Chains A and B, each alone.
Chain A
């Protein structure tokens, strides 16, 4: 089970409080009326789905009910950092300790 740091609650909480909400930083097309079908499909369906580092959204469902972002390794499940929507990840600041990334399962 993941142990996730909510950047709003500023607390580590267990994965069961959260919902995964898919890849982060996918911008909605600026001009939706003039998008091609392929551009729409890129936005709605196609995903990076990488084996390795992944920027993704989480929702603190039974906590503050806010969306935030995380950088997580999809192979080791280690969470490198979590950050608020609209922020840039601050990897150097060490928001995340080793303990946070550890995955009990």
Chain B
């Protein structure tokens, strides 16, 4: 792999950029791999990369039924933060945050990680109490955070309506300066390129139609396009389709798959230099480097795999955004899309072994998995390599639903997706 550099850019400019090396190979799958990862989104590709990089396991395939990073990785609002309430979740997301901070250098790929800060607004007294509690918990866990009052919020975001004239006036916010956004596609491409360079086979348009087992242990997968591929261990990282894969081995997961929508406006001049989220009026917004406003919505209530959502959900989201930013009332929306999120009862992921030996699941990230991409891949790679949970992944085991040791981040952590 030729490393990207400014010298390379100059060199290729001389040949009119016609001789760039392909970012990754397009290999024919082998019959057997030490580890097969099902799902070539950000989390799956990160898992493959860290398996090769940290654990030296390079006989790895990533099987993707569509194209790399074409699912939720390309459908989210790219927000990265780690201000979760409970210790287990905070440690996991902060682990991820630390990896984000060096990711572009590590991957030799500009993931455009921009630590422009995230505001979680409070609109009621209870909101503010929860924010104070969460920021205190964050600081005890070594995560940056501040409680701001309405005046300080107004100074940070002058175009935000912090007046008393709104239905739910802004009372304050939590502020995590190290949080921000990243370029979602670049994250998938960066991990893919780096994993490929270490010898990982990325197999696109290869759909897994069955998981084969023998004496209670997974032995391989049956694919639609390339037949049987045997594997020492199998890691499923398929977000909304996790229940479908689990069903292949007769496993029921505590998941429901819901459509989650987002939208972008036409590109406009720089106007918003941070990320604003509000649980109470339920919307979140940032401005991409391209200039479009990236706006996120709530999930549709019903189970759905259709990768689209309802219009009334869009309407509610736009209402919330206009409540906060009346200045955007005449901005035109450009595109809208939906992704299928696998929501867990406690709004925390499942990174776990299963009752089927050698079969592991990394799922349940629900509405907020993008921020965890490097951390999720890192701890899941360790889990797959050693066959036992990484210390940070241990609390997120599948059996927490039997023991009752849930990590209830619903509402508690500013979880707005």
Q: Which residues of A contact B (CB under 8 A)?
A: 1-2, 15-16, 19-20, 22-23, 37-38, 40-42, 44-51, 54, 56, 72, 74-77, 104-105
Contacts of A56 in B (CB 8 A): 302-303
Whether B243 sits at the interface, judged by CB under 8 Å, is yes
Q: Cβ of A74 and Cβ of B305 under 8 Å apart?
A: yes
One of B243, B247, B305, B401 near A75 (C-beta < 8 A): B305
Asked if B76 CB lies within 8 Å of chain A CBs, one says: no
- Residues in A neighbouring B309, C-beta threshold 8 A: 105
Give A1 to B254 CA distance when docked, in angstroms: 26
Residues of A within 8 A of B301 (CB): 19-20
**Chain B residues with a Cβ under 8 A of chain A:** 241, 243-244, 247, 252-257, 301-306, 308-312, 345, 401-404
Determine whether the beta carbon of B311 is less than 8 Å from that of A49: no
**A75 in contact with B306 given A45-B345, A49-B243 (CB within 8 Å):** yes
For B254, list chain A residues within 8 Å (CB). Answer: 41, 45-47
Task: With A41-B401, A72-B302 as known contacts, state yes or no: A51 contacts B241, CB within 8 Å.
Answer: yes
Interface centre among A19, A56, A105 (most CB of B within 10 A): A105
Contact B306 A15 (CB under 8 A): no
Contact of A105 among B257, B308, B403 (CB under 8 A): B308
> Across the interface, which residues of A come within 8 angstroms of B257, CB to CB?
49, 51, 74
Contact, CB under 8 Å: A37 / B247: no
Let me know if B306 and A49 touch, CB within 8 A.
Answer: no
Most buried by B among A20, A38, A72: A20
Q: Closest chain A residue to B343 by CB distance?
A: A49
Known: A45-B345, A45-B401, A56-B303. A1 touches B241 (CB 8 A): no
Q: Which residues from B are CB-within-8-Å of A54?
A: 303
How far apart sit A45 and B346, CA to CA, in the bound complex (Å)?
Answer: 10
Contact assessment for B241 and A37 in the assembled complex, using a CB-CB cutoff below 8 Å: no
Contact status A48-B243, CB under 8 Å? yes
Closest to B301 in A: A20
Residue numbers in B under 8 Å from A37 (CB-CB): 402-404
Chain B residue at minimum C-beta to C-beta distance from A21? B301
Residues of B near A2 (CB, < 8 A) are 302, 310
Also in contact, A77 and B304, with CB within 8 A (given A41-B401, A45-B401, A51-B244): yes
Distance A1 CA – B244 CA, assembled complex (angstroms)? 25
Given contacts A74-B305, A77-B304, contact A46 B252 (CB under 8 A): yes
Partner of A22, one of B256, B310, B404: B256
Pair A15/B255 contact, Cβ less than 8 Å: no
